[in-house]
Amino acid sequence: MSQAISASTMQSYGLERVCRVWAIARSTVYRLCRGKGAPVVTVELTKRGPEGACSDAELARRIRQALDDSPWVGEGYRKVWARLRATGTRTAARRVLRVMREQGLLAPSRSGHPHGPKAHDGTIIPERPDQRWGTDQTTTLTGEGNAAIFILVDHCTAECLGIHAARNGTRFEALEPTRQAVWESFGGFEPGVAKGTELRHDHGSPFVSHVFQQEIALLGLESSPSYVREPEGNGCAERFIRTLKEQLLWLRRFETVEELRLALLDFKDRYNNEWLIERHGWISPAEQRRRLIGIQAAA
């Protein structure tokens, strides 16, 4: 077309100028000039680069197997990636994310809602175990009615050190996880035995009561109330309660409070020894405690 001569002006005009005046794309002109008999070249859209240790179909099969073998439900792609590495499948975490998204295997998640400025920008994770504990309360429905659940976790290792269920969520029941934690970490009860450990809690009536505060003070625990309307201050306990609900409370029905209490104790052991924590390098809370104690002993 660039060689064609205009019959009216006897001049040649380039394709670019003609397409600009006609307001059409040059690619359209080339396609029309190619003719119906010209071959059409199709390009298969695939991921660039090497395929990796296995194909996407094989990786999807291994991902499904890892999800089936896991004792937990609703795990995200990062924990699946860690479990694949533990079984010898070396691949990128982003590839695991892509394959799980394509296969519809990602766990549903909820996005948070923005709120005002935080009361503090610090961290709640200490450097050693038994430096800061966090306690909190939740509820669940049983065959005997509503039951209160009290928990206590270590902020450093994310271990569940105490868990208890009762028909009534009184201040006396709220003390039971603290007693379990003191016995497990310090080996007994005596005045000041837990000195040097903070106990983070919210402003719920069982935790701010005189009975609760007097007993933890007797044991040497330092009361550390979180900021009002800032649940992030007790985020370790809040995160454990979310895991407890997703992995136990929302999956089973309990006829009695005693059945619930025994199931909570069993969950505590499984969680401490089998739940994988990302900030620990994908090891369990109990393994993280053993590792930190070993580092302290070597120092």
List, for residues 31-72, the tens digit of each pLDDT value. Answer: 777 765 555 555 455 556 666 668 999 999 999 999 999 999
Three-state DSSP class for 224? strand
Angstrom distance (rounded) from CA 157 to CA 255: 32
State the CB neighbour count (10 A cutoff) for residue 156: 22
pLDDT of residue 273: 96
Tokens of 279: 């900030």
CA atoms within a 13 Å half-sphere pointing along the CA-CB vector of 190: 4
Residue 109 lies in a domain: no
Token pair 């040497």 is found at 220
User: At residue 28, does pLDDT exceed 90?
Assistant: no
Token pair 């005046």 is found at 21
pLDDT tens-digit profile of 123-161? 888 889 999 999 999 999 999 999 999 999 999 999 999
Number of domains in the chain: 3
- Of 265, 184, 171, the C-alpha closest to 216 is 171
Tokens of 209: 């009561």
Residue 117 lies in a domain: no
Residue 112 lies in a domain: no
pLDDT band at 112 (very low <50, low <70, confident <90, very high): low
pLDDT of residue 119: 55
Q: Are residues 140 and 243 both part of a single domain?
A: yes
pLDDT band at 14 (very low <50, low <70, confident <90, very high): confident
Residue 13 lies in a domain: yes
Containing structural domain, residue 90: 56-103
Q: Are residues 170 and 255 both part of a single domain?
A: yes
Give CA angle at 166 (254, 185), nearest 5°. 110
Share the mean pLDDT of the chain: 87
Residue 48 lies in a domain: no
Angstrom distance (rounded) from CA 48 to CA 93: 17
By CB neighbour count within 10 A (0-12 exposed, 13-18 middle, 19+ buried), where does 151 fall? buried
pLDDT tens-digit profile of 215-233? 999 999 999 998 877 778 8
Residue 29 lies in a domain: yes
